[in-house]
Chain A
Amino acid sequence: MNAVPHAKHRDVPVPREVLHPQSYLREGSTIWSWLTTRDHKRIGLLYMIAITFFFFIGGAAAGLIRLQLMSASGNLVNDRTYTELFTAHGIIMVWFFLIPSIPATLGNFLVPLMIGAKEVAFPRLNLASWYIYTFGGLLVVATLLSGGVDTGWTFYTPLSTLFSNTRVILAAAAVFVVGFSTILTGLNFIVTVHRLRAPGMTWFRLPLFVWAQYTTSVIMVLATPVLAMTLLLMAFERLTRIGIFDPALGGDPLLFQHLFWFYSHPAVYIMVLPAMGVASEIIPCFARKRVFGYRAMAYAMLGIGAFGFLVWGHHMFVSGQSSYASDVFSLLSFIVAVPSAIKVFNWTATLYKGSIELAAPMIYALGFVVLFLIGGLTGLWLAATALDVDLHDTYFVIAHFHYIMVGGTVMAYLGGLHFWWPKIVGRMYPERWARIAAWLIFIGFNLTFYPQFLLGLAGMPRRYHHYLPQFQLLNQLSSTGAGVLALGYLLPLVYLIWAMRRGVRAPDNPWHATGLEWHTSSPPPKENFEVVPRVTGAPYDYEPTSIGPEPPHPAGPP
Chain B
Amino acid sequence: MILNPLPPPASTLAPKIDHLFIAMAALTGLVAISVALLMLIFVVRYRRGSKADRRNPPSGAFWLEVGWTGIPLLAFFIIFLWSTAVFSQYYRPPHNAAPIYVLAKQWMWRIQHPNGRREINQLHVPLGYPVELVMTSQDVIHSFFVPAFRLKQDVLPGRYTYAWFKPTRTGSFTLTCTQYCGTLHYSMLGQIIVMRDADYARWLATPNQEPDIIAQGAVLFRSAGCSGCHAPGSSVHAPELRGLYGRPVPLSDGSTVPADDTYLLDSILEPEKQIVRGFAPIMPTFRGQLSQDDLDALLAYLRSAEVP
Contacts and interface: CB of A to CB of B under 8 A. Distances in A.
Interface in B161-186: 161, 174, 176-186
A386 B36 contact: no
Given A164-B182, A366-B39, A386-B83, A353 B141 contact: no
A344 B35 contact: yes
Contact of B90 (A151, A351, A389): A389
Contact of A393 (B31, B32, B140, B179): B179
A156 B139 CA distance: 13
A318 B153 contact: yes
A464 B185 contact: yes
Main SS of chain A's interface residues? helix
B115 interface: no
A135 interface: no
A229 interface: no
Interface stretch (B48-56, B206-214, B239-247, B285-293): B48-56
Interface stretch (B95-103, B142-150, B190-198, B272-280): B142-150
Contact of A385 (B38, B46, B87, B157): B87
B5 A327 contact: no
Interface stretch (B65-73, B117-125, B126-134, B263-271): B65-73
A401 B47 CA distance: 32
Nearest to A73: B186
Given A156-B141, A338-B73, A463-B180, A389 B151 contact: yes
Given A334-B80, A390-B17, A351 B39 contact: yes
A342 B6 contact: no
Interface string B13-36: 000110011001000100110011
B180 A352 contact: no
B35 A348 contact: yes
A254 B28 contact: no
A163 B76 CA distance: 41
B205 interface: no
B7 interface: yes
B186 A465 contact: yes
Contact of A386 (B43, B61, B87, B139): B87
A374 B32 contact: yes
A131 to B, nearest CB: 34
A330 interface: yes
B154 A318 contact: yes
Contact of A463 (B53, B54, B186): B186
Contacts of A162: 139-140
A329 to B, nearest CB: 11
Nearest to A249: B158
A412 to B, nearest CB: 16
A59 interface: no
Interface in A360-408: 366, 369-370, 373-374, 377-378, 380-381, 384-387, 389-390, 392-394
Contacts of B63: none
B74 to A, nearest CB: 10
A296 interface: yes
Interface in A313-341: 318-320, 323, 326-327, 330-331, 334-335, 337-338, 341
B268 to A, nearest CB: 21
B106 interface: yes
A464 B54 contact: no
A287 interface: yes
A334 B72 CA distance: 9
Interface in A451-474: 454-455, 457-459, 461-468, 470, 473-474
A247 interface: yes
Nearest to A545: B54
Interface in A147-162: 150-152, 156, 158-159, 162
A459 B174 contact: yes
Interface in B73-93: 73, 76-77, 79-80, 82-84, 86-88, 90-91
B13 to A, nearest CB: 9
Nearest to B44: A356
Given A247-B158, A292-B58, A454-B1, A377 B31 contact: yes
Given A290-B57, A356-B48, A393 B35 contact: no
B21 A293 contact: no
Contact of A320 (B48, B53, B161): B161
Given A292-B60, A338-B76, A392-B152, A459 B147 contact: yes
A342 B20 contact: no
Given A79-B186, A356-B47, A385 B83 contact: yes
A291 B186 contact: no
A76 interface: no
A293 B69 CA distance: 12
B57 A150 contact: no
Interface string B213-226: 00000000000000
Given A163-B139, A353-B58, A356-B42, A338 B156 contact: no
Nearest to A288: B48
A390 B150 contact: yes
A293 B17 contact: no
A342 B186 contact: no
B182 A381 contact: no
A387 B151 CA distance: 10
A351 B42 CA distance: 6
B187 interface: yes
A377 B48 contact: no
Contacts of B151: 389
Contacts of A296: 60, 65
A478 to B, nearest CB: 13
9 contacts: A163-B106, A248-B158, A292-B60, A318-B143, A341-B68, A351-B43, A353-B53, A381-B21, A386-B82
Q: Which 6 residue pairs are nearest across A and B when measured between Cβ atoms?
A: A247-B158, A459-B147, A351-B42, A334-B76, A384-B83, A290-B59
Interface of B: 1-2, 5-7, 16-17, 20-21, 24, 28, 31-32, 35-36, 38-39, 42-43, 46-49, 52-61, 64-65, 68-69, 72-73, 76-77, 79-80, 82-84, 86-88, 90-91, 106, 139-141, 143, 145, 147-148, 150-154, 156-159, 161, 174, 176-187
Given A163-B140, A253-B141, 19 more contacts: A151-B180, A163-B182, A253-B156, A253-B158, A318-B152, A334-B80, A345-B68, A352-B46, A353-B56, A354-B57, A356-B46, A356-B48, A369-B39, A381-B24, A386-B16, A386-B82, A386-B87, A461-B176, A465-B186
Interface of A: 79-80, 83, 150-152, 156, 158-159, 162-164, 247-248, 253-254, 287-296, 318-320, 323, 326-327, 330-331, 334-335, 337-338, 341-342, 344-346, 348-349, 351-358, 366, 369-370, 373-374, 377-378, 380-381, 384-387, 389-390, 392-394, 454-455, 457-459, 461-468, 470, 473-474, 540, 544-545, 547
